[in-house]
Amino acid sequence: MADASVAAHLLPAPYLLFLGDTTEAGFAKTAFGLRDWAGDKCLAEHALPGATVSTGLPAMTPRKAAAAGAGAMVIGVANQGGVVPNSWMPALLEAIDAGLALIAGMHVRLADLPELAEAAARRGTQLIDLRTPPAGLPIASGRKRSGRRLLTVGTDCALGKKYTALAIARGLQARGLDATFRASGQTGIMIAGEGIAIDAVIADFAAGAAELLSPDAAPDHLDVIEGQGSLFHPAYAPVSLALLHGSQPDLFVVCHQPGREAILGTPGYRVPPIEAVIEMTVAAGRLTNPAIRCAGVSLNTGALGAQAAARVISETADRLGLPAADPIRGGERFEHLLDACA
């Protein structure tokens, strides 16, 4: 990345994944994302009594993890409201006392909790809040940058834009191509070790942050940028638009979950058809890259059986005349999508 002091979160790995007292796997998506995509950075897990969720990693206390070489304990839970319950405080203080940094991507900032801030100051450890934007962000210039860019966009939020970007970047790297995953959300930052949480940036600077996220590069280099939200989401569309304009993507991949009908968290709003997302993304994206085009479609078919998934993937590809695949399922369809992204 261009200027690590401005644009990067450099995170001390390996990680001890903190699961709190979680009983719903959906709330531990950060921990599972790290396990699935940054397994080499994950040393162990630590959960409180009463927790029923596990990543399958070895269980360690913060002291044992520090002795085994851990650099930080990551709050792997994204609970409702993004808060730090009082029941977590002893474990967080134990991690600080063991010399571990604390990493969180929650709305409530660790540094704003006096008990943690005082303990970290005494011990000389870091409190790393990934939703704190780096200082000195510029407004967007609109200048065309060298290199190539691909952005994942969605028909809605929370349906696979991060997983798709990671799978495409790693799939192209496996082919020997020069591709880099660029993280724009807290879990992606933990996986990549750097990035900017775009949804925490003041609106005037969000497109500028996206420009920093994918700086000038070699002509054949491809930055694969993690998308956020959806242009059709009444709450998150501004973040999506800023990321689109600042990224200036040459290519984009539309992410969609078959069977989802309503926009998450917004009753009365329907998930748009993929065709509408393609049309709007091209129309809006042409402001900063007139050559923008759709490379294909990523389908989250995790709720479908193998035959049903194969059928909806095939029907989508035929209807749109574009490569369509589920990156997690992989296979020949995903290889065709990679062909279109290369």
Residue spans per domain, the chain: 4-129, 148-341
Closest residue by Cα to residue 89 from 72, 113, 105, 66: 113
Inter-residue contact 196 to 5 (CB < 8 Å): no
List the structure tokens of 281: 């993304």
8 has pLDDT over 70:
no
28 has pLDDT over 80:
yes
Q: What share of the chain has pLDDT > 90, as a percent?
A: 81
Provide the pLDDT for residue 82: 67
4 has pLDDT over 80:
no
Provide the pLDDT for residue 80: 58
Query: Side-chain half-sphere of 86: how many Cα atoms within 13 Å?
Result: 0
Contacts of 310 (CB under 8 A, 6+ apart): none
**Would you state the torsion angle of the CA atoms of residues 38, 313, 302, 107, taken in this order, to the nearest 10 degrees?**
60
Inter-residue contact 133 to 184 (CB < 8 Å): no
341 has pLDDT over 70:
yes
Provide the pLDDT for residue 264: 86
Across the range 128-151, mean pLDDT stands at: 93
Give the H/E segment covering residue 276.
Answer: helix 274-285
Provide the pLDDT for residue 26: 74
1 has pLDDT over 80:
no
Provide the pLDDT for residue 321: 98
Provide the pLDDT for residue 6: 33
Provide the pLDDT for residue 158: 85
Q: How does DSSP classify residue 156?
A: S
pLDDT tier at 244 (50, 70, 90 boundaries)? very high
pLDDT in tens, 298-340: 999 999 999 999 999 999 999 999 999 999 999 999 999 999 9
Provide the pLDDT for residue 265: 81
**Cα radius of gyration rounded to whole Å, the chain:** 20
> In sequence order, what E strands does the chain have?
15-20, 42-47, 72-75, 101-104, 127-129, 148-154, 179-182, 222-225, 251-256, 293-299, 324-325
pLDDT tier at 5 (50, 70, 90 boundaries)? very low
157 has pLDDT over 50:
yes
pLDDT in tens, 199-213: 989 999 999 999 999
- Who has greater pLDDT, 326 or 133? 326
Region of 74 (left: φ > 0; alpha: ψ -120 to 50; beta: rest) is beta
pLDDT in tens, 51-100: 999 999 999 999 999 999 999 999 999 765 567 889 999 999 999 999 99
Across the range 240-257, mean pLDDT stands at: 98
- In angstroms, the Cα distances linking 196 to 129, 135, 140 are 11, 11, 15
pLDDT tier at 42 (50, 70, 90 boundaries)? very high
Provide the pLDDT for residue 93: 97
193 has pLDDT over 90:
no
pLDDT in tens, 275-287: 999 999 999 999 9
- In angstroms, the Cα distances linking 96 to 31, 193, 216 are 19, 20, 38
| CATH 3.40.50.300 for domain 148-341 | yes
Provide the pLDDT for residue 284: 98
DSSP helix/strand/coil, 145: coil
pLDDT tier at 11 (50, 70, 90 boundaries)? confident
pLDDT in tens, 79-90: 655 678 899 999
Provide the pLDDT for residue 81: 59
Across the chain, mean pLDDT equals 93
What is the rounded CA–CA span in Å between residue 168 and residue 336? 11
Q: What share of the chain has pLDDT > 70, as a percent?
A: 96
CATH code that applies to domain 4-129:
3.40.50.720
Closest residue by Cα to residue 311 from 290, 326, 328: 326
